[in-house]
Amino acid sequence: MKVRETMEDILNGERWRVDEGDCLTWLRSQKTASVDCCVTSPPYNTLNTNKQARTYRPGDKWMKKTREGYADTMPEDDYQEWLCAVVREALRVTNGLVWVNHKTRYRNGVGIHPLHILKDFPLWAEVVWDKCGATTFNQRRFATSNEYLFAFGRPRFWDPSNDGLLSVWRIAQDTNTEHPCPFPERIVEPLVAASCPPDGIVIDPFTGSGTTGAVALRLGRRFLGCELNPEYVAMSRNRIANYHVRPVHPVAADDEHQTTLFDL
């Protein structure tokens, strides 16, 4: 049997690396407790199950990016089982907190909260991300404008200067990228700063455009990522190599001006 490698071995003196491939296979090949922190945002299994999503205007920028470059559809039961398998493996590999970004989705009129799915994992902390806007589809419920960051496991490192930070973060979505669903760097920064030791290793099994990697490098940590889509592998490598260049963020909305996604 192949001996599992430590992330230190894989990095082999480099500060970062992004591998192309499937995240479960990638995680299963890694040694237990060989990294310090995981910050990730899995696919939400939202495409083709959301009838209203099809009502986007043809040519809409987000729709085009999503339809043309992003596979995100599984039977819901398979998706939940798969997501748990990924989080379980991430917890095994990480000697610290595993941060998972997710949101409540609605299927046949019933909300599926991410903690319904991830109920068996020990929850250490949660952050409510107020995205400053929403796409509304006349669903006879309030337009969802929040997501969550859940920390599973236990912090082996915690920078106490973050203890005063409140758990609701109002941060506008980052729309200034060719990836259909990146999370903003400002979401990732406090997670890495608080829960990964200086020079520690952060992983992201769903690297996407490389947000976690760019932030990790900028904060003096190392990074290992995995991404299935070769286009995003190239995108993330390019971004992380230029990690010192900050993306232009949309201005965060204030309380008086609730923007929608389409306003940003």
Among 153, 200, 208, 250, binds ligand SAM (CB under 6 A): 208
182 SS3 class: coil
The residue number whose beta carbon is nearest to ligand SAM equals 208
Among 228, 252, 261, 264, binds ligand SAM (CB under 6 A): 228
**The token pair that represents 53 in the structure block:** 């999503």
Does residue 53 belong to the site contacting ligand SAM (CB under 6 A)? no
Does residue 16 belong to the site contacting ligand SAM (CB under 6 A)? no
Query: In whole angstroms, how close is the CB of 200 to ligand SAM at the nearest point?
Result: 19
Does residue 232 belong to the site contacting ligand SAM (CB under 6 A)? yes
Does residue 23 belong to the site contacting ligand SAM (CB under 6 A)? yes
Burial zone of 173 (CB within 10 Å; 0-12 exposed, 13-18 middle, 19+ buried):
buried
The residue range among 27-35, 108-116, 225-233, 256-264 that interacts with ligand SAM, by the rule CB under 6 A, is 225-233
Rg, C-alpha atoms of the chain: 18
Question: Tokens 């900050």 appear where?
Answer: 246
Angle of CA points 156, 43, 244, to nearest 5°:
60
User: Taking a C-beta distance cutoff of 8 angstroms, is the pair 171, 259 a contact?
Assistant: no
Q: What is the DSSP letter of 78?
A: H
Does residue 209 belong to the site contacting ligand SAM (CB under 6 A)? yes
Q: What contacts 38, CB < 8 A, 6 or more positions away?
A: 90, 93, 94, 96, 97, 98, 99, 202, 203, 204, 205
Among 227, 237, 250, 253, binds ligand SAM (CB under 6 A): 227
Q: x/- contact string, 141-170, with ligand SAM (CB under 6 A)?
A: ------------------------------
Does residue 183 belong to the site contacting ligand SAM (CB under 6 A)? yes
Among 30, 66, 94, 211, binds ligand SAM (CB under 6 A): 211
Question: Which residues sit opposite 77 in a β-bridge?
Answer: none
**The token pair that represents 124 in the structure block:** 């250490």
Report the candidate in 184, 177, 180, 112 with the shortest Cα–Cα distance to residue 149.
Answer: 184
Does residue 96 belong to the site contacting ligand SAM (CB under 6 A)? no
Q: x/- contact string, 29-48, with ligand SAM (CB under 6 A)?
A: ------------x-x-----
* Alpha-carbon distances, residue 170 vs 7, 78, 98 (angstroms): 34, 32, 21
Question: How many binding residues for ligand SAM (CB under 6 A)?
Answer: 17
What residues make contact with ligand SAM under the rule CB under 6 A?
22-23, 41, 43, 179, 181-183, 206, 208-209, 211, 226-229, 232
